[in-house]
Structure 1
Amino acid sequence: MSATKPTDIAMLEEMAVFAQVVDSGGFSAAARKLGMAVPSVSRHVSRLEAHLGERLLLRSTRSHVLTEIGQQVYTACQALLSQAREVHAIADRFSARPAGLLRVCAPIVFGQTWLAPRLPGFLDAHPEVRLQLTLADRMVDLIDEGVDVTLRIAPALAPGLASRVLCPLAYVLVASPAYLAAHGTPAQPEDLAAHRCIYLGYGRFGRQLQLHQGEQTAEVALADGVQVNNSAAILAMVEAGGGIGLVPDFTARATLHAGQVQTVLPQWRIGEPYTGNVHIAYTPGRHLALKVRAFIDYLVAAAAADTLPPPSA
């Protein structure tokens, strides 16, 4: 008998049917177990024998006896089926509840000030999830870097990712009470020109501000003071009395609540480019891992509840 060389995948069904024939004690019983016709079961076994170039079963009208190689092939098939059952068991465990390693990436300051304080609640609710958090101020390729969820701050995301808006983002002007006592508190947007201002000053961010109050709009240029590419560092300078800082609201929230800094021109809303949204982005697909779905739902609920104290003037 000459052997053909099929792919391994093409042999899997034949191997499973052959093992069932042996387990059931015959073709008819195996056919009933598998929900197949007896001739179809016989063809599967014959194809496997043809693939291997060896007789696996000695057939008679009353019995079917394994050959020597048939016994070894049967043992190997049983091991294969056991592995297949383990694969199903793994899938069942993951579909039953969130579990496994969850890889998350977030911008540095947002991750430190907003995300990190909320992570213990998620881990307590889902103890079978292990978390790997990476903080980085760059675009992360979810597929190439093996990331499950990334948080991005932008007005909108480019096509190609599945995403949800976590929360809107606003920037605020803040200063320490000591600085304002020494240098005065701006009453109108144009007063900012007389103060040392600290701002991001990179990419789309710059000195030009557009502020809105009701139907009023004011456009001002901040004094050419200090540019810092990290909002936590800006806030640290502000707390030390270094000037008026322009930072995201999530950066300043805790220090505002503690009274270490206070808002400047709180009645004015800062417009583009100092606006946007925090997005939760993940790889699109029909089958979203339960750990990813649970994490997204948890963050959306946390943002809606706004569980940290709100900023105060």
Structure 2
Amino acid sequence: MEDRQRVLHPLPTPRITPLMHLFNEMAVFAHVVRCGGFSQAARALGVEPSSVSRSVARLEKSLGARLLVRNTRALALTEMGSHIHAECEKMLAAARNVQDLAGHYGASATGLLRISAPVAFGQVWLAPRLAGFIEAFPDVDLQVVLDDRPIDLVDERVDVAVRVTEAPPPELAALRLCAAPYVLIASPGYIEAHGMPQRPEELTGHRCLHLGFGAFGPAWPFQRGNETLAVTVSGRYSIGNSLALATAVSGGAGIGLVPEFSAAQGLSDGMLVRVLPEWQLAGTYERAAYLVYAAGPHVAPKIRALLDFLGAGGRPPRSGP
């Protein structure tokens, strides 16, 4: 008797289907199983039964496996179909969770809010106000990074950042927080020992301190009405932090140029006095503090809450008339 060669028929090679199509077909398949039939699933989905049948057929072809055993009276899952159905249900559950999560975050301020700010401004202006923010929004957690470099919001996963600048970056949305002019300061003891300058030119005869980085050097531009002039000063050292510079000046180190917010406490308690208050520092020293964040049509509620809170002067916005 002639031996017959056994012919093996390989399983069909699964066809790669774009994920978006596959997700849709998986959802339809899950509805068929859940509803117990093609017609019932079609009614639930609001489509024709033939559309449901074609969708399941495409899924089976894509996966290279029979998922359902069908006859005129019943529908049953194959072994593979049972495993696939379980994964499809997980996918739908994940989609529902995403919807619920988006709804939750879209409805109220919640989650972790990462904020970056320059060191001195963060200490003096921002930190005292954030105490009220966390009181007003108990579902928002804050992580504040104080750093004088202009960080990249996307690369460092920061939600909002404070920039003390002449103008905010055009690619970012911005809320103006306050003016941040630069002022000349000295200690009462230094003025008593060395005299109070009456004009900017007289600063060349004094010890002068400046930040010493970027545009904040020894060339100081002044303006009073229509009168403008520039003076190049000299001093024994510079300090790259405005709070530290104000502290050195209060100890009698000389006349310093700092942002007004860094000098405010010393001016208030009498440890510092203004020098040439009728003159304004011009050019790069005409600055304001801005809260910047990614521009776009959708602002996360936690960011919107901070914008509204700081925009209202560090008080919870009124919710009623």
TM score, norm. by length of structure 2: 0.86
Of residues 13, 17, 22, the one that matches 2:24 is: 13
Q: Which residue of 2 aligns with 1:96?
A: 107
Question: Displacement of 1:104 after TM fit?
Answer: 1.5
Amino acid paired to 1:18: F
CA distance in 1 between partners of 2:236 and 2:226 (Å): 29
Amino acid paired to 1:201: G
- Please tell me whether Structure 1 or Structure 2 has the larger radius of gyration of its CA atoms: 2
Alignment of 1:24 onto 2:24: no
What is the CA deviation profile of residues 206-229 of structure 1, one whole-angstrom value per residue up to 9, with x for unaligned ones? Answer: 223232233333433334443222
Question: Displacement of 1:179 after TM fit?
Answer: 2.0
Q: Which residue of 2 aligns with 1:309?
A: none
Q: Contact conserved, 1:167 with 1:303, CA < 8 A, in 2? A: no
CA distance in 2 between partners of 1:161 and 1:114 (Å): 22
What is the CA deviation profile of residues 98-150 of structure 1, one whole-angstrom value per residue up to 9, with x for unaligned ones? Answer: 22222211111111111111111121222222222111121212222212212
Mind listing any 5+ residue stretches in structure 2 that lack a counterpart?
A: 1-10, 317-321
CA distance in 1 between partners of 2:239 and 2:267 (Å): 20
Counting matched residue pairs gives 305
SS in 2 for 1:110: helix
Q: Contact conserved, 1:166 with 1:303, CA < 8 A, in 2? A: no
Alignment of 1:33 onto 2:53: no
Alignment of 1:55 onto 2:66: yes
Of residues 181, 184, 190, the one that matches 1:170 is: 181
CA distance in 2 between partners of 1:216 and 1:139 (Å): 33
Question: Displacement of 1:303 after TM fit?
Answer: 7.4
Q: Which residue of 2 aligns with 1:46?
A: 57
What is the CA deviation profile of residues 244-265 of structure 1, one whole-angstrom value per residue up to 9, with x for unaligned ones? Answer: 1111011111221222212112
Pick which of 151-160 and 28-37 moved more: 151-160
Amino acid paired to 1:84: A
Mind listing any 5+ residue stretches in structure 1 that lack a counterpart?
A: 306-313
SS in 1 for 2:283: coil
Q: Which residue of 1 aligns with 2:281?
A: 270
How is 1:104-115 mapped onto 2 (pairs within 5 angstroms)?
Answer: 104-115=115-126
Q: Which residue of 2 aligns with 1:299?
A: 310
Q: Which residue of 2 aligns with 1:150?
A: 161
Q: Which residue of 2 aligns with 1:308?
A: none
SS in 2 for 1:273: helix
Pick which of 289-298 and 14-23 moved more: 289-298
SS in 2 for 1:226: coil
Q: Contact conserved, 1:212 with 1:218, CA < 8 A, in 2? A: yes
Question: Displacement of 1:304 after TM fit?
Answer: 11
What is the CA deviation profile of residues 32-85 of structure 1, one whole-angstrom value per residue up to 9, with x for unaligned ones? Answer: 211222211111111112122222222222332222322222222112211221
CA distance in 2 between partners of 1:81 and 1:167 (Å): 48
Of residues 131, 138, 141, the one that matches 2:149 is: 138
SS in 2 for 1:227: coil
Q: Contact conserved, 1:171 with 1:249, CA < 8 A, in 2? A: yes
CA distance in 1 between partners of 2:78 and 2:204 (Å): 94
SS in 2 for 1:91: helix
Identical aligned pairs, as a percentage? 45
Question: Displacement of 1:170 after TM fit?
Answer: 0.5
CA distance in 2 between partners of 1:181 and 1:249 (Å): 22
CA distance in 2 between partners of 1:16 and 1:304 (Å): 47
How is 1:217-232 mapped onto 2 (pairs within 5 angstroms)?
Answer: 217-232=228-243
Cα 1:248–1:75 change in 2 (3 A) is same
How is 1:65-76 mapped onto 2 (pairs within 5 angstroms)?
Answer: 65-76=76-87
Amino acid paired to 2:268: H
Q: Which residue of 2 aligns with 1:213?
A: 224
Q: Contact conserved, 2:132 with 2:315, CA < 8 A, in 1? A: no
Alignment of 1:203 onto 2:205: no
CA distance in 2 between partners of 1:110 and 1:302 (Å): 15
SS in 1 for 2:215: coil
Amino acid paired to 2:107: A
Q: Contact conserved, 2:133 with 2:314, CA < 8 A, in 1? A: no
Pick which of 221-230 and 24-33 moved more: 221-230
TM score, norm. by length of structure 1: 0.89
Question: Displacement of 1:5 after TM fit?
Answer: 2.9
